Amino acid sequence: MKRTQKSSVVVAAALLAILLAGCAKKKPVATTPPPPPPAAPTASLSANPDAIEQGQSTTLTWKTDNATGVSIDAIGAVEPNGSRQVAPVQSTTYHLTAKGPGGTQEATARVTVAGRQAPPQISLTDEQMFAQSVKDVFFDYDAYDIRGDQQSALQSAAAFLKQHPTWRVTIEGHADERGSIEYNLTLGTNRAEAVKNVLVQQGVNPNNLRTVTFGKEKPFCNESNETCWQQNRRGHFVLNK
């Protein structure tokens, strides 16, 4: 009785060993002990500083162990340990994935980007002056030429920017909700470039002017009427300084 029990314990232990070795498939019983399972990867990711102003950069630093492939979203494949300067324009969570024979480990780091509201680098006075003197430019439907009623606003903007030759400005091209996503992206580019061209003709340093298009992806309002559509057909100025 006792002997039977003992031998069944031995058999059970042997079976357990086989299962632990990952031999779910039928394989001959191994005589050598199975190799230890591969160590699970570890990963850490940090940003220093983790709060910046728009236009500043921060340093991402990461460390991994036991990983054969390491990548960070929006950056791509990276070395196992390293650091990199990034300059996100909005608050961003960086996400690192470390893959190894022992599994996958993820790590994240949040970088908070202070927007236009209260960036200490740009004094409130500067911001207010910018907002008073550099007004957004509005467009007709499906058009990217500068309307007559927008010319004087652009002239003041040009004069102001020439008085502040070190200030850097982004011109965003926007479109209303009507029409195709893709076509509005190209139209947004043309609108931003049209604004830039006038400023450059007036003597603003082109190196201080960056253009981007958002098409109809970042509307200022969401109503389906002409008042709102007009608000969304614009070249929008953002002070980077």
Least separation, in Å, of the C-beta of 182 and other proteins? 5
Of 8-16, 30-38, 58-66, 90-98, which segment contacts other proteins by CB under 8 A? 90-98
Q: Are 105 and 95 in contact (CB under 8 A)?
A: no
Least separation, in Å, of the C-beta of 31 and other proteins? 29
179 binds other proteins (CB under 8 A): yes
* Binding test (CB under 8 A) with other proteins, winner from 66, 190, 208, 231: 190
Of 33-41, 82-90, 115-123, 151-159, which segment contacts other proteins by CB under 8 A? 82-90
44 binds other proteins (CB under 8 A): no
Number of amino acids touching other proteins (CB under 8 A): 35
**C-alpha angle with apex 210: 123 to 230, nearest 5 degrees?**
85
103 binds other proteins (CB under 8 A): no
Of 28-36, 115-123, 155-163, 213-221, which segment contacts other proteins by CB under 8 A? 213-221
* Binding test (CB under 8 A) with other proteins, winner from 42, 71, 83, 202: 71
Least separation, in Å, of the C-beta of 126 and other proteins? 21
DSSP, collapsed to helix, strand or coil, labels residue 78 as strand
Peptide bond into 49 cis (omega under 30): yes
* Binding test (CB under 8 A) with other proteins, winner from 68, 81, 93, 201: 93
Per-residue tokens: 207: 């190196």
DSSP conformation letters of 166-232 = T--EEEEEE--SSS-HHHHHHHHHHHHHHHHHHHHHTT--GGGEEEEEEETSS-S---SSHHHHHHH
142 binds other proteins (CB under 8 A): yes
DSSP, collapsed to helix, strand or coil, labels residue 123 as coil
* Binding test (CB under 8 A) with other proteins, winner from 21, 153, 159, 212: 212
Per-residue tokens: 218: 């970042």
Q: Which helix (H) or strand (E) holds 14?
A: helix 2-20
* Binding test (CB under 8 A) with other proteins, winner from 58, 64, 105, 211: 211
Buried b (16+ CB within 10 A) or exposed e, 218-236: ebeeeeeeeeebebbbbbb
Within a 10 A sphere around the Cβ of 15, how many other Cβ atoms?
11
186 binds other proteins (CB under 8 A): yes
Question: Binding residues for other proteins, per CB under 8 A?
Answer: 71, 73-77, 88-90, 92-93, 95, 97, 142, 144, 179-183, 185-190, 193, 196-197, 211-214, 217-218
